[in-house]
Amino acid sequence: MSDIIQLLPDHVANQIAAGEVVQRPASVVKELLENAVDAGATQINLVVKDAGKSLIQVVDDGLGMSMTDTRLAFERHATSKIKSAEDLFNLHTKGFRGEALASIAAVAQVQVKSKTEKADVGTSLQIEASRVKEQQACVTPKGTSIAVKNLFYNIPARRNFLKSDAVEQRHIIDEFQRVALAHPKVGFSYVHNSSELFHLKSANFRQRIVGILGAKTNEKLVPVEEQTDYIHLKGFIIKPEFAKKTRGEQFFFVNNRFIKSSYLHHAVNAAYEGLMRDKSIPSYFLYIDVDPKTVDINIHPTKTEIKFEDEHSIYAVMRSAIKHSLGQFQIAPALDFDRDTDFDTSYEQHKKPISNPTIQVNRDYNPFEVETPRKATSNFSNHKPIIPNAWESLYTDIQPQKDKVEHSSKFLNAPLENNLFQHEAISESIKCFQFNGKFIVADINDKLLVIDQHRAHSRILYEDLMKSITLDAAPCQQLLFPLEMEFSSADFQILTDVQEALVLIGFSFEKWEDNETLISGIPSHVKESDIAAMFDQLVADMRLGIPKNNFEQNDILAKSLAKNMAIKSGRILSTEEQHDLIHQLFTCKEPTKTATNQNIFINFAHQDLEHKLL
């Protein structure tokens, strides 16, 4: 039998290694930014075109490289960060494996210009698919400039698997923010398709967070700091009332390296216990400094997962420090026994319309008339106070009001094959009742239907929203006072992609720039108080859905908004509202399933019920 095992050529081995290191354009951005930080740069500029598919360029003012180092940097396992295996347990830098540049050069066209401070001229190097095309001296400023062009040009299959520019752009922004937050003393800028998205100057931790997430974030931050023999914890958490229902602003940094840890995330949630709404996720920016010998960061190709020597101690310190900060800055609720409750307005009374106060005047009173004390007393005692009409309403009107179902008054009216209504009169004569505040039980055409009211309304709204986006724009209800909202750059980019669709379903915007928006109008069936939570959920759904085209984008948008706007379980509905909901459900194109393919109702024939009773 002949020998069948052979050594792979270097360029093939580099392409295989690139599969772990270079997964998408954001992976290249991460590696190049971290190399620039390790080079001691004080200013790093990122330039991207077509979401990194055409160009990724990182320019820094760091130490630079000599001609020999420039060439060796692109060899496999070539690094200046470690010299022995023991150095792996004393790491203070980002990249140390020596695979990044070699892997990038294997799947792209790379041009490097670098110069040290003492050198008279710099070095220019061009590499394509791991092969050096040109190396020569050049005039360039101190530092390094690396341009990665046409990523995956020699591996079409990998390039075809890349997502849309909008999706890849979001991943790049995520990586940029992680590196920028980890190194606030370094200035960063980010330009995408000739448009500057970030311009961050050297700052402290708080200023860097505000620079990335917006000026309004400053008032939401609560500082956290704790020093022990094992760990130094510092950073900021967000006040509980600003907690979101989606992830995206949770950052852990261990020795200035971004990591992901569900265990430490649980410690943060435990500290917030009892202070947040259900299913809310707090935002945090926590920096952990520990001895490098007590952590292992070489357990994952992207180095975002690490292993602590004593993670239980870190858990306890983090939970305790956050609890202390919430109490120290009076974030946790407290009872005030000294407060005067005489000026409090009852919960039901504040719902009443405001009316002008009435003043009763004694028109017979003469201030110049001399009266004896006895007469004055007599006049006062004989004066009958005027009692306002319907004074009993102050007590009898305090009755809980049933919530009204809020939904669009106009829905699709196309004829349906599976419509259970034979004619309009049936919808008015059907017998139905609400069960457990969640289900509507109805007797329709000798069948007993159990309908989930939230899912039913969600289906109605979904079809209404899709109709507004694709056919007829929905009416807009103008707000008396416009609602101002601010988003992070990544979230604002996501919303920008669906701005046109938002306008079609009834939103109106006076301002849409600089990561801020001014909402002047909303759909008629949306509460103003629900807008913030609705947009947060929409951003999260768009991230998870990763739309590939406009149809998928509109579909995700309609699903997200319909789910948030639909009536919730536990809401009490009147008989008329139940009839209306049932009728509109069975005028939908698909009344049996939600947009996410969940059953809306189940039905029982009378014969089935009789059989079960046997």
In a shared domain, residues 146 and 238: no
Q: How confident is the model at residue 91 (pLDDT cuts 50, 70, 90)?
A: low
In a shared domain, residues 503 and 436: yes
Q: Is the pLDDT of residue 291 over 70?
A: yes
**Is residue 10 within a helix (H) or strand (E), and if so which, with residue range?**
helix 10-21
More confident residue, 365 or 113: 113
Residues facing residue 384 across a β-bridge = none
Asked whether residue 50 is assigned to any structural domain, the reply reads: yes
How confident is the model at residue 16, as a pLDDT? 62
Rounded CA separation 485/518 (Å): 6
Q: Is the pLDDT of residue 380 over 50?
A: no
Asked whether residue 534 is assigned to any structural domain, the reply reads: yes
Asked whether residue 594 is assigned to any structural domain, the reply reads: yes
Rounded CA separation 241/286 (Å): 19
- Concatenating the DSSP letter of every residue in 474-527 gives PPEEEEEEEEEEE--HHHHHHHHHTHHHHHHTT-EEEEEETTEEEEEEEETT--
Q: Is the pLDDT of residue 34 over 60?
A: yes
Token reading at 61: 């003012």
In a shared domain, residues 287 and 157: no
The residue from 200, 218, 253 where one domain ends is 200
Phi, psi of 494 (to 5 degrees): -65, -45
- Give the chain's domain count: 3
Amino acid type, 386: I
Read off the pLDDT of each residue in 552-559 and give the average, rounded to a whole number: 84
pTM, 2 dp: 0.69
Domain of residue 70, residue span: 10-200
The residue from 172, 200, 228 where one domain ends is 200
Read off the pLDDT of each residue in 453-481 and give the average, rounded to a whole number: 87
How confident is the model at residue 352, as a pLDDT? 64
Q: pLDDT digits over 391-406, tens only?
A: 444 444 444 434 433 4
In a shared domain, residues 272 and 159: no
How confident is the model at residue 368, as a pLDDT? 74
Asked whether residue 288 is assigned to any structural domain, the reply reads: yes
Cα 137 to its chain centre, rounded Å, is 47
* Secondary structure class of 432 (helix, strand, coil): strand
In a shared domain, residues 191 and 224: no
The residue from 308, 328, 348 where one domain ends is 328
Q: How confident is the model at residue 444 (pLDDT cuts 50, 70, 90)?
A: confident
In a shared domain, residues 136 and 94: yes
Rounded CA separation 68/123 (Å): 9
More confident residue, 395 or 456: 456
CA quadruple 214, 219, 224, 225: dihedral sign: positive
- Concatenating the DSSP letter of every residue in 110-150 gives EEEEEE-SS-SSEEEEEEETTEEEEEEEE---SEEEEEEES
CATH classification at residue 575: 3.30.1370.100
How confident is the model at residue 500, as a pLDDT? 87
Task: Tell me which range, 8-17, 139-148, 159-168, 387-396, is most confidently predicted by mean pLDDT.
Answer: 139-148
Read off the pLDDT of each residue in 287-301 and give the average, rounded to a whole number: 77
Q: Where are the alpha helices (DSSP H) in 221-372?
A: 262-271, 311-328
In a shared domain, residues 60 and 103: yes
Nearest to 514 by CA among 209, 249, 197: 197
In a shared domain, residues 57 and 135: yes
In a shared domain, residues 143 and 218: no
Read off the pLDDT of each residue in 19-40 and give the average, rounded to a whole number: 86
How confident is the model at residue 597, as a pLDDT? 87
More confident residue, 413 or 372: 372
Asked whether residue 442 is assigned to any structural domain, the reply reads: yes
Amino acid type, 499: Q
Q: pLDDT digits over 229-266, tens only?
A: 889 999 999 988 888 877 778 999 998 889 888 889 99
Residues with Cβ within 8 Å of 544's Cβ and at least 6 positions away in sequence, in order, are none
Asked whether residue 414 is assigned to any structural domain, the reply reads: no
More confident residue, 17 or 469: 469
Read off the pLDDT of each residue in 575-592 and give the average, rounded to a whole number: 87
Q: Is the pLDDT of residue 475 over 90?
A: no
Q: pLDDT digits over 55-70, tens only?
A: 999 999 999 998 888 8
Neighbours of 520 (CB within 10 A): 17
* Secondary structure class of 14 (helix, strand, coil): helix
Task: Tell me which range, 1-15, 84-98, 471-485, is most confidently predicted by mean pLDDT.
Answer: 471-485
How confident is the model at residue 590, as a pLDDT? 87
Q: How confident is the model at residue 184 (pLDDT cuts 50, 70, 90)?
A: very high
CATH classification at residue 101: 3.30.565.10
CATH classification at residue 240: 3.30.230.10
Read off the pLDDT of each residue in 77-90 and give the average, rounded to a whole number: 56
Asked whether residue 398 is assigned to any structural domain, the reply reads: no
Read off the pLDDT of each residue in 70-86 and give the average, rounded to a whole number: 68
Q: How confident is the model at residue 45 (pLDDT cuts 50, 70, 90)?
A: very high
Read off the pLDDT of each residue in 532-561 and give the average, rounded to a whole number: 79
How confident is the model at residue 61, as a pLDDT? 93
* Secondary structure class of 408 (helix, strand, coil): coil
In a shared domain, residues 484 and 593: yes
How confident is the model at residue 391, as a pLDDT? 46
Read off the pLDDT of each residue in 363-370 and give the average, rounded to a whole number: 72
Q: pLDDT digits over 111-162, tens only?
A: 999 999 989 999 999 999 888 899 999 999 999 999 999 999 888 888 888 8
In a shared domain, residues 432 and 531: yes
Q: Where are the alpha helices (DSSP H) in 233-310?
A: 262-271
Asked whether residue 367 is assigned to any structural domain, the reply reads: no
In a shared domain, residues 536 and 598: yes
